A = this chain, B = another copy of it.
Amino acid sequence: MIKVAINGYGTIGKRVADAVAAQPDMEIVGVSKTRPSGEAYIANERGYPLYIADITKKGAFDEAGIAVAGDVEGMLRQCDVVVDATPGGVGKANKALYELYNVKAIWQGGEKHEIAGISFNSSCNYQDAYGADFVRVVSCNTTGLCRIIKLADEAYGVKSVFATMVRRGSDPGGIKKGPVDAIVLNPVSIPSHHGPDLNTVLPSIDIVTTAMIVPTTFMHMHVIRMELAQEATREGVLDLIRKHPRIGIVKGSTGITSTAELRELASDMGRPRGDLWESCVFEDSVAVGKNNELYLFQAIHQEADVVVENVDAIRAMMKAADSAEESIRMTNEALGLKAI
């Protein structure tokens, strides 16, 4: 059993914890939290040993009736791999600690590529992380781009990509961040940083991206245009997507045209937290233009799609599965993930 610790039991961390706990070859040895929030109660309820960054704050947890197992150093002593899911930019400062305790570490896309030197997406470069000590799982948006672009590139060759990301302003559980009523260019300059970030995983792709933020919480939406090197058909592309283990299709017959309806469907399907770990391509949007341009909309669940990638990264780093296919199959089966 691979012993996994989660440093930062928040939006991503709590999901990775549950996904890891569901794997037959992994176990959670601890999760960490800085304050006695609702999520700390949940950690207790799930039976995940709860560690805190600053042990002098144990009193606050005691008062709230939340059991504390020790400090983060104590957690690191128990684990083979730590998944750092602290807020963007914080993870960097933790690297020295992970080195000190000699544990393998995974960071999220909020950190820079340089923190690990390997940026990871299981459908693209599983072998790069095989046996590695430090890996960075790319952000939810880059993960979504990686999956579909790699698929198209292998089948047809991708000459260029132009993608627009329309991003949610806040996660559903958030109350501080806006906007309330605005479309915010973020960044206002073109291209955005998402293209270069994709290139940390797929260096040879010629890509320009733009991004904006809108007042919604449920998912991001990508509009993608790819110029293909070889001739493609709409049906051919849909067939490829249907076979991909991490890309689902929102069928036209469902009548679903929005992120809200899609999350409702996931909720109705009984997915934990209504999570969509797969990218969701809208069937009716897929179109091929006269010069082999491929167009499509895909919705990306910002809280969920990287969760399964973290699980695969653990397996790659621990050499617990020899190929991406094997790890993806194991991860998906353990979660009951059959792409929509």
| Chain A residues at the B interface, C-beta cutoff of 8 Å | 14, 35-39, 41-42, 45, 63-65, 162, 164, 166, 168-170, 172-191, 208, 210, 212, 214-219, 221, 223, 225, 251-261, 263-265, 267-270, 272-274, 282, 284-287, 289, 293, 295-297, 299
Q: Which residues of chain B are near A299, meaning CB under 8 Å?
A: 183
- Which residues of B are found within 8 Å of A182, using beta-carbon distances? 174-175, 216, 218, 258-261
B172 touching A175, Cβ below 8 Å:
no
A270 to B259, CA, bound (A): 22
Q: How far is the CA of A45 from the CA of B173 in the complex (A)?
A: 29
The residue in chain B whose Cβ has the minimal distance to the Cβ of A41 is B254
- Chain B residues with Cβ under 8 A from A221's Cβ? 183, 185, 212
Q: Which residue, of A164, A272, A287, A296, has the highest number of chain B Cβ atoms within 10 A?
A: A164
CB of A261 within 8 A of CB of B180, answer: no
Kindly list chain B residues whose C-beta atoms are within 8 Å of the C-beta of A180: 168-170, 174, 177-181, 215-217
Contact A254 B37 (CB under 8 A): yes
Q: Which of B178, B188, B189 meets A170, CB within 8 Å? A: B178
With A38-B264, A166-B212, A223-B210 as known contacts, state yes or no: A188 contacts B64, CB within 8 Å. Answer: no
Known pairs A39-B268, A175-B184 / 12 extra A-B pairs, C-beta < 8 Å: A38-B254, A170-B180, A175-B258, A179-B180, A179-B258, A180-B217, A181-B215, A183-B216, A208-B293, A210-B297, A214-B215, A217-B260
Once bound together, how far apart are the Cα atoms of A206 and B225, in whole Å?
15
* A258: chain B residues within 8 A (beta carbon): 175, 179, 182-185
Complex partner residue of A166 from B178, B214, B257, CB under 8 angstroms: B214
Q: List 28 A-B contacts (CB under 8 A).
A: A36-B255, A38-B255, A38-B256, A42-B265, A64-B253, A64-B254, A162-B225, A172-B181, A172-B260, A173-B260, A173-B264, A174-B178, A175-B182, A175-B184, A175-B260, A176-B177, A180-B216, A180-B217, A181-B216, A182-B216, A183-B216, A183-B219, A185-B258, A188-B285, A189-B284, A208-B295, A212-B223, A214-B216
Q: How far is the CA of A41 from the CA of B259 in the complex (A)?
A: 18
Given A169-B180, A268-B39, also A295-B190 (CB < 8 A): yes
Copies of this chain in the oligomer: 4
For A191, what are the chain B residues with a Cβ–Cβ distance below 8 Å? 287, 295
A29 to chain B: closest CB distance in Å? Answer: 20
Given contacts A166-B166, A253-B36, A268-B38, A183 and B296 within 8 Å (CB-CB): no
A261: chain B residues within 8 A (beta carbon)? 38, 173, 175, 182
**Residues of the B chain whose Cβ atoms lie less than 8 Å from the Cβ of A212:** 166, 221, 223, 297
Interface pair B189/A287, CB less than 8 Å apart? yes
Tell me whether A181 and B218 are in contact in the complex, defined as CB-CB below 8 angstroms, given that A38-B256, A287-B189 are known contacts: yes
Identify the closest chain B residue to A65 (Cβ). Answer: B253
Complex CA gap A226/B41 in Å reads 32
